[in-house]
Structure 1
Amino acid sequence: MTATQPDLRTWVPTTRELLIDGRLVAGEGPAVEAVNPATEQVTATVPTASTAQVDAAVDAARRAFPAWAEASPRERSAAISRLADVFEANVERLTASIVNEVGTPVAFAEVMQVRLGITHLRWMAEAALLDRTVQLGPWHDPVLSYSEVAYRPAGVVACITGYNYPINLAVFKFGAALAAGCTTVLLPSPRTPLTTLWMGELFEEAGIPAGVINVLVGDGPSVGQHLTTHPGVDRVSFTGSDAVGARIMEQAARGLKGVTLELGGKSPNILLPGIDVAALARDIHLRWARNGGQGCAALARMLVHESLVDDFLAASREAFPALKVGDPWDREVNIGPMIREDHRQRVQSFVDGGLADGGEIVLSLDTPVPDRGYFVNPVVFTGLPHGNRLVQTEVFGPVGVVVPFATEEEAVALANDTAYGLAANVYTPDVEHGRALAGRLRSGTVWVNGGGNMRPDAPFGGFGLSGVGREVGEWGIREYLEPQHVQWRP
């Protein structure tokens, strides 16, 4: 795909209908606008779901549940594999949809927003085949008996996703739920409805049985609240802010529903003595600024040993121009826009607040941002105490902060001095020491020397305000399974 293809530069899915019980139906609720954040152009108007349509989607999922739960593992695996094939056949248009709806730069969108999701789907298709039954063997008190623990599908899952990674966040939820034998109702962020609505057509093309996946759109909290409190929903999985996650947990608690919450982060990146900061500086900054900093695991809290600070900042000044803000269809660009103007203003408020609190911007870009679009140039602060709002709060934008430390003990204390605990990274010349240090960090994921890509067989989630439960891998599938003890006398 190239920026010279005007059809893709402006292409958005044409689907405006909800998917309920295998049928595409027009929404009966208020309309929301889909906006290209790089151009500020309204690309579509989407009618949302009414309360009655939420009921219909949940009812459809309930009716479809027995047959899907009782389908053989091979049948469920084949359905998920077909869906991965359909996604694979539509990589270019899925990528274009993400670029034009989220503003993610095209090279990153294709690899991390689309192909990563396909990789996870294919892994889940294989995981659907696994027999998880555990044989406990004999028990002799008071009489001889035998036991096994089987894992049964939990039921209907409400899958509620954030705007920043529409495909991946959906795949992590419905893919695991389908592999477990559950049926689903998928509700995307109203800021990015188009890609998910089009996925409804792809579900149909892949032959996913009617009612197994239903797709809704809401215009605000009312649809989500009706879904999370619905008596026909057994599990709720949500990705978004900790504030909204807390409300969803309260709503789900009314029906004693299980919840999986993947929420915010203020992830530390610890730079220990002995590393080559000149070789690492570019990747360090691209890691937290990619997707415009709109990532919950962004390593924007850089804890740098005091012996490295000067060298790190010098190397960063050389590397920082590699961060290019602008048209997400330009393959040289690696930082796109914020999702909306109100979010751009929120990010700018953190910059203004950091300056007002005595912080100093030590890294920034001189290149002006485009006249159109919700762009923010990345900046890095120093001189702020660790308790400062900018240091402690998830910005969800391209704003980083450098905090020096004197000892490794202090680095660990600073890393853990946050309400969050989603991810962390340690740069060290001694990998084994880094692995040992990981055990002292309250983070659901710890990378050492940058780690690798997001594996489909590894859990993702966090401590504290970063959420409840885990997504991805076997851990993600078990969020949608109930253990059942079966005991018999011979």
Structure 2
Amino acid sequence: MTDTTLLQAGDRTVPPTADMVALKTGLFIDGTYGPAVSGLCFEVIDPANRQPFAQVARGGAADIDRAVAAARRAFDDGPWPRMTGAERGAVLRRMGDLIAARRDELARIEVRDNGKPLPEANWDIDDTAGVFHFYADLAEGLDGAEQPIPLAMPSFTAKAVREPIGVAGAIIPWNFPMLMAAWKVAPALAAGCTMVLKPSELTPLTALELGAIAAQAGLPAGVLNIVSGFGPEAGQPLTEHPGVDKLAFTGSVPTGARIMATAARDIKAVSLELGGKSPLVVFADTPLDQAVEWIMFGIFWNQGEVCSATSRVLVEQSIYEPLMARLADEARKITIGNGMTDGVLLGPLVSAEQQQKVLAAIERGKTEARLVCGGGVPEGLEDGCFVQPTIFADMAEDAWIWREELFGPVVCVKPFATEAEAIRLANDSRFGLAAAVMSADAARCDRVAAAFRAGIVWINCSQPTFTEAPWGGYKQSGIGRELGRWGLDNYLETKQITRRTATEPWGWYLK
């Protein structure tokens, strides 16, 4: 954190660019934008050139109090939880339509905020609109979804009903800013919950835009509140707030562990999507060009800043050397630069701090493994937060770089001799978010997929993600599932209602 983040609102003007003129930079609480109680703001930095291009209100504990109070009123006394699912679905569908209509503008904000190439940002905004449309359909399906329960005892009937859990607090990361917001906001609103959303301080802008989109779509005031700010000042007060019924978090394992411990004090419901060190197993019968393409997409897409990135690659011994040579040759060809530039496939990392973390990890890796290519800052791009696509090989099983999540464009590759060895090495991790296997043998793929200890498994591909399918991991990769019907379940309670249908006295006390 630098001194430039400690600005009083209005202290300094960051000149807006043509595509950033109408940015929402205030906190969105109870249906309106406004400054933080402290009057402080912080700068948003473009990682392609390390220059500030916006100032955003810096929320704190007092702002979280205001936001939770608004969400509490909207849940306890407002119309949103009492609307039909079809009525809520109509609002969510309008939100998706509005996001789709603003796709080009929102994608360009995402590039300036995060650094990713513009085509990838376009995909993200398309997916964000799709998430709202998907949960609009699920909201409609909640109407009339009571489940009768057969009972053995006569004169009684029972049913199970689903109800919104209450006020949800959500904290999202910086790697897919608007999409990660949608993964939590859309199912929570579909369920009838109200929410306080805390985006990453590194990438707050598209999340803040959701407030205006929600209001335009007809979402009642107080249902969605968005507080930008830093973790200790805004995130921690949100997780500790007694007015919050449910916590949803995507981010690092240490932060997730702290949130889980905090939630235990009040027995809050928690869902966590945490880190990964995901394996990709390549058997010798896989076409080499396909293997190389999916390895590269699995680790270099989004600059490797992906929780499920297949950053550990296991290659059958007989094709290990030719695959390594081809992989290194293709990695060196990747066009690196500003995400707004046509043809760029690898943008800057999200911040100078993240760049330094990844570069430090690479230096440590050089002492543990063979550096095949990359390993530094691309020539001519020293003014931005760039890191070359980097490949390591021949490390020991206990090497730090093989076992720890780096969250950057760095892949580690090891050979294996047998299917059993590949499975053992793939599962030998404290993480279990995702895993992938590539082979022309369908039966082998099914065997390996069944043996993986991971919540997401890809066969002959890596990283495709679908709103309809569950997302989440085993072990230290988290608790619960997002997306699909599973994502809606995160924000619903189940209530049993039993009715006695007989009219005569029960007979226990009255004789």
Same fold (TM over 0.5): yes
1:404 alignment partner in structure 2: 415
Give the counterpart letter for 1:68 in structure 2: W
Q: What is residue 4 of structure 1 aligned with on the other side?
A: none
Unaligned 5+ segments in structure 1 are 1-6
Determine the C-alpha separation between the residues in 2 that align with 1:451 and 1:386.
23
Partner of 1:135: 148
Which residue pairs with 1:27 in the alignment? 36
Matches within 5 A, 1:314-325: 314-325=325-336
Are the equivalent residues in 2 in contact too, given 1:13–1:198 (CA < 8 A)? Answer: no
What is the deviation of 1:144? 4.1
- Report the alpha carbon displacement of residue 8 of structure 1 after superposing the two structures with TM: 7.6
Is residue 276–residue 434 contact of structure 2 (8 Å, CA) maintained in 1? yes
**Residue 98 of structure 1: aligned partner:** 110
Q: Is the alpha carbon distance of 1:154 and 1:372 closer, same or farther for their aligned partners in structure 2, counting shifts above 3 Å?
A: same
CA contact (8 A) 1:33 1:45 kept: yes
Partner Cα distance (2:494, 2:223) in 1: 22
Count the aligned residue pairs.
480
**Segment of structure 1 superposing worse, 293-302 or 369-378:** 369-378
Name the aligned partner's letter for residue 21 of structure 1: D
Distance 2:219 2:421 in 1: 52
**SS of match in other structure, 1:177:** helix
Asked if the contact 1:152/1:483 (under 8 Å) is kept, the reply is: yes
Q: 1:299 to 1:405 in 2, by over 3 A?
A: same
* Alignment check: 8 A CA contact 2:92 2:136 kept: yes
* CA distance in 1 between partners of 2:399 and 2:37 (Å): 45
- The structure-2 alpha-carbon separation of the partners of 1:330 and 1:17, relative to structure 1 and needing over 3 Å to count, comes to same
Q: What residue in structure 2 maps to residue 415 of structure 1?
A: 426
Determine helix, strand or coil for the equivalent of 2:271: strand
Instruction: Give the aligned residue type for 1:133.
Output: E
- CA gap of 1:248–1:489, structure 2 versus 1, over 3 A, is same
Percent identity reads: 35
Query: For 2:131 and 2:462, how far apart are their aligned partners in 1?
Result: 18
Measure, in 2, the Cα distance between the counterparts of 1:439 and 1:12: 51
TM-score with structure 1 setting the length = 0.94
Aligned to 1:75: 87
> What's the CA shift for 1:44?
1.7
Separation of aligned partners in 2, 1:374 and 1:104:
11
Give, in whole Å, the separation in 2 of the partners of 1:79 and 1:62.
Answer: 20
Question: Of 166, 170, 183, which residue of structure 2 is paired with 1:172?
Answer: 183
State the structure with more CA Rg: 2
Mapped contact 1:117–1:171 kept (Cα < 8 A): yes
Residues 296 and 9 (structure 1), Cα distance of their counterparts in 2 relative to 1, 3 Å cut? farther
Whether the 8 Å contact between 2:297 and 2:462 is mirrored in structure 1 is: no
For 2:68, which of 43, 58, 61 is the aligned residue?
58
Secondary structure of the residue aligned to 2:49 is coil
Q: Which amino acid aligns with 1:300?
A: S
Aligned counterpart, 2:122: 110
Asked whether the 8 Å contact 1:153–1:481 carries over to 2, the reply is: yes
Q: Does 1:471 align with 2:486?
A: no
Deviations 1:274-307 (A, max 9, x none): 1112333133213211111111011110011111
Spell out, residue by residue over 1:424-466, the C-alpha distance to the aligned partner (whole angstroms, 9 max, x if none). Answer: 1110102343133212111110000016731111110101111
Q: Offset at 1:259? A: 0.7
- For residues 22 and 457 of structure 2, the distance between their equivalents in structure 1, rounded to whole angstroms, comes to 37
Task: Give the letter aligned to residue 170 of structure 1.
Answer: A
Match for residue 393 of structure 1 among 391, 404, 416 = 404
Kindly tell me: are residues 322 and 120 of structure 1, through their superposed partners in 2, closer, same or farther at Cα, counting changes over 3 Å?
A: farther
What secondary structure does 1:128 align onto?
Answer: helix
Report what 1:3 is aligned to.
none
Q: 1:239-289: CA deviations, max 9, x gaps? A: 111111111111121111011111110000010121112333133213211
CA contact (8 A) 2:91 2:219 kept: yes
Question: Aligned partners of 1:191 and 1:458: how far apart in 2?
Answer: 28
Residue in structure 2 matched with residue 41 of structure 1 by the alignment:
51
| d(CA) in 1 for partners of 2:65, 2:95 | 26
Aligned to 2:487, the other structure's residue is in SS state helix
- TM-score by length of structure 2 reads 0.91
> 128-137 or 64-73, which moves further after superposition?
128-137
Paired residue type of 2:397: H
Letter in 1 for 2:67: A
In structure 2, how many angstroms separate the alpha carbons of the residues matched to 1:94 and 1:189?
Answer: 17
Question: In angstroms, what is the RMSD of aligned CA positions?
Answer: 1.7
